[in-house]
Amino acid sequence: MLSLPRPTVTTAVASCFAFVFTYTDILSVLVMAPLRNALRSFLPLTKLTSYLVSARWTSNIPGQAGAMDELSTCISGAFPTLVDYNSCMPALQLPVILSGKAPQGARYWSVQIYLKKAAPPLNDRKGGADTDETDAMRRNQTLRDTDITLDDDGNYKITIGSKSDIAAAGSANFIDAGDSKAGLLVIRCFKMREGTSWKAPDLLPLGGGEPWPCKFSTRECGPYATSRGPTTNFQRLRTCLMAALPVAVARPDLSRALALGGVGATLLHAAIRAKLKKKYKRLKSPVGTHVNSDVVKVPGLGGNADHVYWNMVYDCRELDVEIRGFRKGGFRYTNLTCYSFSGMPLTEFLDDESMLGDGDTFTVYLCKERTYGRGVNEICVADALVGAATLRVLLPESDEVTDKCVPKIRAVPRGHRSA
């Protein structure tokens, strides 16, 4: 029978170490970011304190769904795509100057700051419809690629702060944050050219000086693989075991405490995921939504009022599902991505470059097994036979374009493909 470790200070610290280290990624987003900002205000800058207070860019890793952080994705409600290079800086102190280089060959990129006193971040968690006022605030908090002035080398500087901060910086690019002292900074970039890299901007203090130290700021772009790979949960567990093993060998009396801490973290992970799965199922499938037939426009799913998002709940357990829409005509970019109700994207997706078809329209089939028909667009949803498909349309030119692009969904017999 397993005996519990004696509750001493040493075992308590060991359990906490295992607990925090097991899921350090997500805890650093929720807890460490505000703590770093507080420490940065009064700690002398040394090699050790520089590491402790380093700003941490969090990012989905493109090209491989299994490499995304499932818990982070679930909590943030980001619903990422495999070609969407999202990076965010939680609890960013304001004012700040962003200094960086525009991504190469991207179909779209933007900078947005979410302010606690203004629009709700990412999704309206209460499920209510967005208002015109909310859309206006989101637009005021966003600079998209066509709004950003670059120098001859493709570099930019953006000031985020109050009107007086903006005037003091004299920057051509700015976002007025009013009297807000902190915000969630999000950098979005869709469909960069494969083989290139993208670096998140440096964070400069308003009065000048060295940029704040940042970690995990660079991402390599592509290839967009659909093969399975080690999941983030597996990689995190492996890292945790490798770190805890020497401690357990050196101090056998701590091994049970380490194990209990790890089990506690795992149970917390499962509980959070289960709770949020129910919430996102309600978000993706509001009361009264009919499976395989209804198309629901979701305002501000990605936090940008200038993009349009449609959700379609599908069920491929007994039938295949056909989705029709437009892949060209009056907008910047579009893609179709399927999700489990935890917010994780499936490994296969299609966008306006990979969709096959004649003219401006597309037909895509969601299926349990592929038919490999010639010229047929198929997405295998075997990993989530019941889920939600999201069609994104970036920057439609007019309401007429938006109305035209509303997709259509229906169930079809297994293996049926239209000519």
Q: Say how far apart CA 290 and CA 262 lie, in whole Å.
A: 41
Q: Is residue 251 assigned to a domain? A: no
CATH number at residue 94: 2.60.120
14 sits in which H/E element:
helix 9-22
- Report how far residue 338's alpha carbon sits from residue 347's, in angstroms, rounded to the nearest whole number: 9
The terminus-to-terminus CA distance of the chain in angstroms comes to 65
Least confident of 165-174, 189-198, 220-229, 263-272: 220-229
306 shares a domain with 197: no
Mean pLDDT for 290-301 is 81
Identify the pLDDT of residue 119.
46
What's the rounded mean pLDDT across residues 105-132? 62
Out of 190, 220, 250, a domain closes at 220
> Looking at the predicted structure, is the pLDDT value of residue 138 above 50?
yes
pLDDT value for 341: 80
Q: What is the pLDDT of residues 148-190, one digit of tens each?
A: 999 999 999 999 999 999 998 888 999 998 888 888 888 888 8
Extract the runs of DSSP E, i.e. beta strands, from 191-242. 197-199, 202-204, 214-215, 218-220
Question: Above pLDDT 90, what percent of the chain?
Answer: 26
Q: Are residues 128 and 16 in the same domain?
A: yes
Indicate if the pLDDT at residue 327 is higher than 90: yes
Q: Which of 178, 196, 220 is the last residue of a domain?
A: 220
Write out the residue range of the structural domain in which residue 112 sits.
Answer: 9-220
Q: Tell me whether residue 23 is in a domain.
A: yes
Same domain, 194 and 341: no
Q: For residue 191, is it within any domain? A: yes
pTM: 0.73
Domain identity same for 143 and 46: yes
Tokens matching residue 123:
């999704």
Closest to 395 in 3D by CA, of 115, 107, 140, 177: 107
Which tens digit of pLDDT belongs to each residue from 8-67?
666 666 666 665 555 544 444 444 455 555 555 554 444 444 444 455 566 554 444 545
Top pLDDT among 245 and 70 is at 245
